[in-house]
Structure 1
Amino acid sequence: MKSILLLTRVTVTILSFQSIPFLAQNTKSNLKEIKSVYLSDSEKLNSVNFLLKAIPYKYSLQGDAIEKFDAIFPFLEEKQKKRMISNDDEDFQKMWDDLIEENGQPADGDFSALYDSTVLTSDYLKSNIDFCYNLKQEKSWLKIISNSNFNQYVIPYRVGTERLETQWRQSLYNHYNNIKKSSKPRQEAFEKTKNTDLLTFASDLQYEIRRRVSTNRTMWAYPFDIPVSKMEQGRQGACKHLVNYTTAVMRANGIPCTADFTLLWANNRSGHKWNVLFKEDGSSLPFDAATFPLGVNFDDRKIAKVYREQFLPSVEFSIPVEDEVPNYLYDPCWKDVTKEYVSVSDIVLKVPSELSKKKYLLIGTFDNQAWQPQFYAITINGEVKFREIGRNNVYIGMYLNDGEIKTFGDPFLLDSTGNIRYLSSTSSLESVKLTRKYPCTSFTSEFMKNMVGATFSASNSLDFKGEKTLYTVEKKPAFFETAKITPDVKYRYYSYTTADKKKSYVAEIEFYDENGVKQNVLPLKIDSNVSLKKICDGDLNTYYWGKDNERIIFDFGKPVQISNIKYCPRSDSNFIVENDIYELCIWKNGVWEAVGKKKANSSIVEFENVPKNSLMLLHNLTKGQEERIFTYENENQVWY
């Protein structure tokens, strides 16, 4: 019965929808008395009808595979009490590994769906509805928002497929509606706004959520939704768990809230899930779970599709042909909201004659290693139309055949204006000068910029009296840089000093004498600070993380003359590394075709006779894994 897809940041659980008609009939029989309770209250009756329509699609996952792993929550609780838990806690990882060894992976264990229609009672729904309508009297904004948003994003009695609990709303309301602030003025401000100012109250809730729960790397391996009581107990989770918990907290306190997500970024191998709340006018505010302030960071990320979790399925949804569309691409409770985030276009592709019998085709993006489907559409009269696709991305047509996903046609760029340019190699050739195999992200760039303003100095006195400044880093290092030194005398001590109010994020520092010979020298104090060894370990992926305004001193034992200093900041090391071997590939006739292999002799690797208008991929055959597709435009790499 189960089919669980685990992405890096998004977990989607898919069950068969074929049993829904039977369950709908069963629901009417079990819960029909709830409607008679609210015959005189049209608003509540509307909410009842909304829930009854949704109930056939709702279920909890249950079974030994879930219950055996419940042991993680009291373990985490004890760690929390001792304030001894971290994002990558070794004790918790060991405990998890022991559970895996004993029980196997949780997603491979025995579990099944317990449909709400078979267990829900009228009393449970009545308690849920009455609680929400009491909130509506208490929170001023709930009197203004639309009935649709109130039903979709406040009324729901569950968030995901977590095990049902009776008091989750009351528990979360009791804590978060009564937050204790650090001072009397702040407490008075909170009490004044919690019933009248949606955004201020939501911000207060988010701040408290961030203090109360956090991400844990080990929990990425836990595929199931977590009930509120377990989340309150362990207070640790993966991104998805924190999003669901935040949704529950917001709804329990009258903030209309749900989750938006992308199954896969258009320019990355992972997906992401985040929260979104709705203001009085119906406009939305997306924000990352358990972060502060409210907001979401889309830096360096490109969007092909974004979906919103709805409680009531779309009436327009129809189940696609099972053997033509992967089941992780659809769900009746997903609403396409891509155009709320980026500019979109409809894409029409011609159906190849060999695929003319296919009812559905797919469209995909590259995930750093392979093409992966993003969306599906039905074929009509020899064409397939993919609606509202995010612009400024490279796509390719795809199809599912005997369980294998394949591509068709040439990849194409849907540019920022909505025009399509096919990336088909031409007979014209060009030389390309490449500096990276993967784009430098804003996150990495910040660490690299941290070196700007740092200085290399020299002295014959350990206290550096009368020191001579040899070189100042004036621009952000882009790779393993070289500073040419012309000292007037020999010096015994050389140093690297960070810029004012900046920490040391240094991957490597190398010194070369006047003959170009690398010097074997280590920083002082390396015995008391072993992480300093990372500066001279020859590994660009390790780095020293030091203090503000720190001076790192190198003692050569005697005065020496240095002609060059090579330095590299903390980075992703995806720039061209001297002496590494690189292979350039282009996409041609449905495969990646190698067009050249070279050993880099500088920070640039050049390939000749490359077909123009090609989609390219650069492999480092010496080391590394990250790589990204690009085109070559005006002598620059353009990443997608």
Structure 2
Amino acid sequence: MRCIYIFVCVCALTFLSACIEQQDSRLESALNMAGANKGELLKVLSHYRESDNQKYHAACFLIKNMPYYGFYEGKELQKYLRYFEAHSTNIKGAQFIVDSLKKADGEFSIDMLSRKKDIEVVDSAFLVEHIEWAFKVWKEQPWGGNVNFGDFCEYILPYRIGDEPLSLWRKELYDKYNPLLDKFRKSADSNDITKAAQILMDTLRQGKYRYTSLFPKGPHIGPVALKWKTGSCREFADAMIYVMRALGFPCGMDRVIQRGDTNASHFWNFILDKDRNTYMAEFPDQKMWKKASEYDMTKGKVYRVTYSLNEELTKELKDVLSVHPIFRYPFFHDVTATYLGQQNRQITIPQKELYDCPRTGELVYLCFANKQEWIPVAYTSFNRKAACFDNVEGGIVAILATYNENGLQALSNPFTLNHNTGEIHYLNPLQECHKISVYKKFYFAVRNYFNTRMIGGVIEGSNQKDFQNVDTLLLIKEAPYRLYTVAYLDPDRAYRYVRYRGGKGSYCNIAELSFYENSLDTLPLKGQVIGTPGCYGDDGRREYTNVFDGNPDTSFDYKFPDTGWAGLDLGKSYRVSKAIYTPRNDVSFIYKDHVYELFYWDKGNWNSLGRQTAVADSLVYTVPRNALLYLKNHTTGNDERIFEYEGRRQIFW
């Protein structure tokens, strides 16, 4: 009897396989790639084929895209995970964790790990459990009726997000978080996805999250991102997705391959409401879900991460000889227009602005800068006269390039796209040169960041230690643009107590402050350091005492957004005539004795304008007008960014 049963099962699976081959070539190809695991996947298809048509097609969707997915194994993986686990509890900061683990475990590289293919190891029990739980939450939640089958498959059903270890995460997360929505499900708004999602985000935002981008490059870490609450925007976005999908929300991750205004990619979460409108959140910093069109970060191009392969792009690129790896297997589709609204632009670069004329139909890439490299973010086919790109956000600098076996080949000088007008300006260096003063090598595109936090800060004087009676000596109205800003004061009287008080929401960020009795003095006044104790993170690294330690690399970062201050008890009253202050920074300004090199881009290369050893907090160079520039610090520091020079100021992009 057992032999007959096995024979019948084999015949049934063989028949099912033949039917599949007639219906879906990609599915049949996936099953053939499964090797010895093919029988496990056929069991799933056989299980649903007769009993539930929707679940059958959901299983087909998962399996036919499965060959592109996998995960990493090896003892070295534990080295990588230790970064996140250690940072979740250690208060000494991410750099301390990185340095300590490198010393203890050695350098981590993803190349040390072995990769396993999902298609060869995912068994029937694993796949069926994920499918059953996905359908359960889709059908039971009040908003589920507003989620179509296509969105369900793409944004609720997938058993994984990226290349994290395989796990059965749905039930545990459902049991933990679903009760939070019991009251809401009884309300009149129970089918409103955005309101339900807000309840979850309010809960998930509780607890301490520790952001860092310092960890080595590695795979997704999986649902433990919820436990450890540390990592970059990718880990935070992953954490949100696991919970949302476990509870039946159509959600996922939108991303920029390369930001147009800083040296980074970026990830964030999205959900779809009942009308398929996109709402987004930068978890955990953003408090409320908001419409995609309200997201004001400079993005350039936005892509929605999908589980399924973008078949339209794949067919479009099928006969192209050399495709850049970013677009070779596109598990995303372009949603730039969803975010831009009226700011959606088309770029047309005529042939006369190109170094060479590409072949008709040859792929031309739109590239954004990451330090001195250029990263493709979009492509188009050259049409004999021009390269045209749809759906691009302004506020960016880009070049065009082609791609072959030797890598990217620059095709144009840089050009800017104006955010408000859509006007294109070409940065073609001129023969005419001019002298410029350079004060920094990097700026932060994030609003309310470091030096901008000094806007609204005040320098005050008093003759009472508690500053009950206080006079304002200086109101800082602009973000400092150099390492040391000199402010000349004109006090009406002498003060024993002087201080810097941070503006609203600034966390009293300041690195250095010194006071001088006479405007020509070079030696600052001395006194007892006073201020508000306590710093962000409670690790003692950024206390108010740093403001007077003579080191511009240390700073005060108060534990509360407001009311922080740092000052001096001078011992006796002085008429203070000058103050010099330094904003909190990451060695981005010019430092005395550091070695710098300035470059400008022309004809496909960064061309050096020479090295200098700084003798103050600025550098002077003679450069071609209308050139894109880049300053490198050869002594220390990592962050550097492209810029123009106009009106005696650096304009960073």
TM-score normalised by L of structure 1: 0.77
Farther off after superposition, 573-582 or 514-523: 573-582
SS in structure 2 at match of 1:221: coil
Cα deviations by residue, 1:178-203 (Å, 9 ceiling, x for unpaired): 239xxxxxx74576479533112211
Gaps of 5+ in 1: 1-18, 181-186
8 Å contact kept, 1:521–1:554: no
Farther off after superposition, 576-585 or 535-544: 576-585
Aligned length: 601
Cα deviations by residue, 1:603-633 (Å, 9 ceiling, x for unpaired): 987767x544332345678876544333345
Seen in structure 2, the aligned counterparts of structure 1 residues 518 and 347 have a Cα distance that, compared at 3 Å, is: same
Q: Does 1:143 pair with 2:153?
A: no
8 Å contact kept, 2:517–2:525: no
Deviation at 1:252, TM superposition (A): 1.1
SS in structure 1 at match of 2:195: helix
- Percent identity, aligned pairs only, is 22
Deviation at 1:381, TM superposition (A): 5.5
Q: Which amino acid aligns with 1:145?
A: V
Deviation at 1:177, TM superposition (A): 0.1
Q: Which amino acid aligns with 2:641?
A: R
SS in structure 2 at match of 1:341: helix
1:340 to 338, 359, 367: 338
Report 1:452-467 matches (<5 A): 452=456, 454-457=458-461, 459=463
1:201 to 181, 189, 196: 196
Seen in structure 2, the aligned counterparts of structure 1 residues 277 and 378 have a Cα distance that, compared at 3 Å, is: same
Gaps of 5+ in 2: 1-25, 534-539
Residue aligning to 2:398: 395
8 Å contact kept, 1:304–1:390: yes
d(CA) in 2 for partners of 1:553, 1:212: 32
d(CA) in 1 for partners of 2:321, 2:75: 30
Seen in structure 2, the aligned counterparts of structure 1 residues 441 and 557 have a Cα distance that, compared at 3 Å, is: same
Deviation at 1:125, TM superposition (A): 3.5
Residue aligning to 1:616: 629
Farther off after superposition, 307-316 or 403-412: 403-412
Residue aligning to 2:370: 367
d(CA) in 2 for partners of 1:624, 1:42: 58
SS in structure 1 at match of 2:512: strand
Cα deviations by residue, 1:369-420 (Å, 9 ceiling, x for unpaired): 3333334445565865555444332211234455454423322223344444
Q: Does 1:55 pair with 2:62?
A: no
Cα deviations by residue, 1:527-572 (Å, 9 ceiling, x for unpaired): 9979454323333332234586566553555665543222334356
Seen in structure 2, the aligned counterparts of structure 1 residues 220 and 201 have a Cα distance that, compared at 3 Å, is: farther
Deviation at 1:154, TM superposition (A): 1.2
Q: Which amino acid aligns with 2:394?
A: R
Residue aligning to 2:415: 412
Seen in structure 2, the aligned counterparts of structure 1 residues 527 and 458 have a Cα distance that, compared at 3 Å, is: closer
Farther off after superposition, 553-562 or 255-264: 553-562
Q: Which amino acid aligns with 2:262?
A: N
Seen in structure 2, the aligned counterparts of structure 1 residues 499 and 375 have a Cα distance that, compared at 3 Å, is: closer
Residue aligning to 2:303: 307
Residue aligning to 2:258: 264
Seen in structure 2, the aligned counterparts of structure 1 residues 136 and 366 have a Cα distance that, compared at 3 Å, is: closer
8 Å contact kept, 2:532–2:544: no
Residue aligning to 1:543: 555
d(CA) in 2 for partners of 1:219, 1:586: 28
Deviation at 1:251, TM superposition (A): 0.9
Cα deviations by residue, 1:251-306 (Å, 9 ceiling, x for unpaired): 11010111111221122111111111111111111212344524489988432332
Deviation at 1:325, TM superposition (A): 4.2
Residue aligning to 1:6: none
8 Å contact kept, 2:142–2:185: no
Deviation at 1:247, TM superposition (A): 1.3
d(CA) in 2 for partners of 1:20, 1:348: 41
Farther off after superposition, 444-453 or 368-377: 444-453
- How big is the alpha-carbon RMSD for the aligned residues of Structure 1 and Structure 2? 4.5
Cα deviations by residue, 1:75-114 (Å, 9 ceiling, x for unpaired): 66xx97xxx444837896577446633xx52413131222
SS in structure 1 at match of 2:330: coil
Seen in structure 2, the aligned counterparts of structure 1 residues 425 and 346 have a Cα distance that, compared at 3 Å, is: closer
SS in structure 2 at match of 1:250: helix
Farther off after superposition, 271-280 or 331-340: 331-340
Q: Does 1:278 pair with 2:272?
A: yes
8 Å contact kept, 1:477–1:568: no
Deviation at 1:492, TM superposition (A): 7.2
Q: Does 1:510 pair with 2:510?
A: no
d(CA) in 1 for partners of 2:172, 2:597: 58
Cα deviations by residue, 1:2-59 (Å, 9 ceiling, x for unpaired): xxxxxxxxxxxxxxxxx99753435676534544534464433432332333233333
Deviation at 1:159, TM superposition (A): 2.1
Q: Does 1:241 pair with 2:235?
A: yes
Deviation at 1:507, TM superposition (A): 2.1
Q: Which amino acid aligns with 1:23?
A: A
Deviation at 1:457, TM superposition (A): 1.9
SS in structure 1 at match of 2:279: strand
8 Å contact kept, 2:256–2:267: yes
Seen in structure 2, the aligned counterparts of structure 1 residues 352 and 582 have a Cα distance that, compared at 3 Å, is: closer
Seen in structure 2, the aligned counterparts of structure 1 residues 360 and 24 have a Cα distance that, compared at 3 Å, is: farther
SS in structure 2 at match of 1:409: coil
SS in structure 2 at match of 1:518: coil
Q: Which amino acid aligns with 1:630?
A: F
Q: Which amino acid aligns with 1:113?
A: K
SS in structure 1 at match of 2:164: coil
Residue aligning to 1:210: 205
TM-score normalised by L of structure 2: 0.76
8 Å contact kept, 2:360–2:383: no
8 Å contact kept, 1:213–1:290: no
Residue aligning to 2:175: 174
8 Å contact kept, 2:27–2:63: no
8 Å contact kept, 1:267–1:301: no
Cα deviations by residue, 1:212-231 (Å, 9 ceiling, x for unpaired): 68446488336122343x44
Q: Does 1:100 pair with 2:114?
A: no
Residue aligning to 1:158: 160
SS in structure 2 at match of 1:544: coil
Q: Which amino acid aligns with 1:60?
A: F
d(CA) in 1 for partners of 2:362, 2:101: 44
Farther off after superposition, 550-559 or 171-180: 550-559
Residue aligning to 2:11: none
8 Å contact kept, 1:363–1:375: yes
d(CA) in 1 for partners of 2:418, 2:551: 39
8 Å contact kept, 2:597–2:632: yes
Q: Which amino acid aligns with 1:425?
A: P
8 Å contact kept, 1:206–1:291: no
Seen in structure 2, the aligned counterparts of structure 1 residues 558 and 170 have a Cα distance that, compared at 3 Å, is: closer
Q: Does 1:587 pair with 2:585?
A: no
8 Å contact kept, 1:66–1:106: no
Report 1:516-555 matches (<5 A): 516-525=520-529, 531-546=543-558, 549=563, 552-555=566-569
Deviation at 1:584, TM superposition (A): 5.6
